[in-house]
Structure 1
Amino acid sequence: MKIVADAQEITGADAGGAPPAAGAPAHQLIYEALRALILFGELAPGEAVTIAGLSTRMEAGVTPVREAIRRLTAEGALAALGNRRVIVPELSAQNISEIIYARQCLDPELARRATLRAKDADIARLEVIDAALDLAILRGDQRQYLEQNYRFHACFYDLADAPVLADMARGLWLRFGPSLRVICGRLGTQNLPDMHKSMLAAMRAGDADAAAAAMREDVGQGMGHVAQSLEMPLMAERFD
């Protein structure tokens, strides 16, 4: 199953998680595959999902698909409506405001902790991912842009060795990932700047505070594009 194989690659070590163990149960593989479809916007905001439809698309059995939907609904990646329909949630202005606040707390702190722990090989790995991200931007490859951008963040989440904070940060990606795919379609990848190189330079210098500041700006820029592209006014928040 190509979708499952792709998900296993995406959820490997560079993507911020251990790859599924050999012989992992079907429900775990299907969960990872469905998670990737949501994370990288293959399922659009507002799109309804059904067990039968996903079973056909993923060439999977009904039971593991049902379990994957249940888990991802509990995580907020999918939303169950009153009429028993399940959809990919659409972001509201309130959602965006809360996600910005949470990410500007979590990502800079994870970047700071990663800098304090990172070795040269760790930083080199981040630079390789960032180079792949640059290539995706140059080619206008939306899917690769989304994957490599997530890999970059997930990689330093792991380096931070703060599993509670990292799990919270990864959970937020599931909430805005589908909308980020929409924005790539509207603006193109070259109109989505990042502060990764500033963060990497700070990491090379061992300056944890500068790395955190760069990541704070990166999150602000990225999530600001999300709000603006979806024509949502940012609610007044204090992030200091």
Structure 2
Amino acid sequence: MVSSAPLNLPVLAREPKETTNQWVYRSLRRAVMIGLVPPGRALTIRDVAAALGVSAMPVREALRRLSTEQALEVRDNRRIMVPQMTASKFRELCELRISIECHAAERALPYVTTQRVDDLTAIDRRIDQVNAAGDREAVTMFNQDFHRHLYEANPNQVVMPLVESIWLQLGPFVRLALSKLQDFYQVDRHSEALAALKRQDPLALRIAIEADIRDGITHVGTNELLKAYVESAGQPS
């Protein structure tokens, strides 16, 4: 069933010179990316505007932009919702994520400094802390921060928009699936990635990144969880 509960949107700090339109878009995009907009939850301009304390105009623009990124879709009845997930679409997104992120990690490797390794290590510790506290939302957020901080070491990278497009499409489903799991991140693949970074070992880094992604998504792509996703969205299976 479609939820009518108030939206839980992150109220992000405004960046210097950031316009209201940019801030609303960034806030709503982050909410979708970490799964705060559940499948089946219709988004209205009024609800989003109330949650963020803004007028309708920047919300309308943010929803339009997110629909062009395939993060949201406009239904025939003009309801705006998270798109439907299928098993084949899920598998395609997972394989794309592995391919693109392994490429991004390898290209970033020559630019990774000791300071960046220290920063990544600190993020990994935060993941351990929030995971121990059972905060799945924060786990997802810091995990994305870890990968983003690694890939952005490459000053010539153009891949992050592609990576984040996949995160946007997977976010609502992964959030729902992780909420049904008792254990998460039983093996810390980030430690393996950090060791590979310190050795400047591209093959080991690729193996660690692929294993990290597969550990995080393969076990949530089961038929049972896909069915739960469909049912929660109020869609026919």
Do Structure 1 and Structure 2 share a fold, with TM-score over 0.5? Answer: yes
User: CA RMSD of the aligned region, Å?
Assistant: 2.0
TM-score in terms of structure 2 length: 0.86
**How far off is 1:3 after superposition?**
5.3
Check whether the contact 2:192–2:205 (CA below 8 A) recurs between aligned residues: yes
Structure 2 distance, partners of 1:64, 1:165, is: 27
Q: 1:230 aligns with which of 212, 222, 225?
A: 225
Structure 1 distance, partners of 2:188, 2:69, is: 27
Structure 2 unmatched ranges of 5 or more: 1-7, 228-237
Higher helix share: 1
Structure 1 distance, partners of 2:102, 2:34, is: 22
Structure 2 distance, partners of 1:91, 1:194, is: 28
Pairing of 1:176-187 with structure 2 (within 5 A): 176-187=170-181
| Alignment: residue pair count | 219
> Is 2:138 the partner of 1:133?
no
Structure 1 distance, partners of 2:156, 2:187, is: 27
Q: 1:44 aligns with which of 35, 38, 47?
A: 38
Q: Which residue of 2 aligns with 1:15?
A: none
Structure 1 distance, partners of 2:185, 2:99, is: 25
TM-score in terms of structure 1 length: 0.85
Q: Deviations over 1:13-56 (max 9, x none)?
A: xxxxxxx6423111000001111111121110221111111111
Q: Deviations over 1:91-149 (max 9, x none)?
A: 21121111112111111111112222101001111000000001111111112111111
Structure 2 distance, partners of 1:38, 1:231, is: 18
Q: Which residue of 1 aligns with 2:230?
A: none
Q: Which residue of 2 aligns with 1:175?
A: 169
Runs of 4+ with >4 A deviation: 191-194
Identity %, equivalent residues: 28
Write the letter of the residue equivalent to 2:66.
L
Structure 1 unmatched ranges of 5 or more: 9-19, 233-240
Q: Deviations over 1:181-223 (max 9, x none)?
A: 1122111453664411111100011101210111011112222
- 3-state DSSP of counterpart to 2:28: helix
Check whether the contact 1:50–1:86 (CA below 8 A) recurs between aligned residues: yes
Write the letter of the residue equivalent to 1:165.
V
Alpha-carbon spacing, 1:222–1:190, altered in 2? closer, same or farther (3 Å):
closer
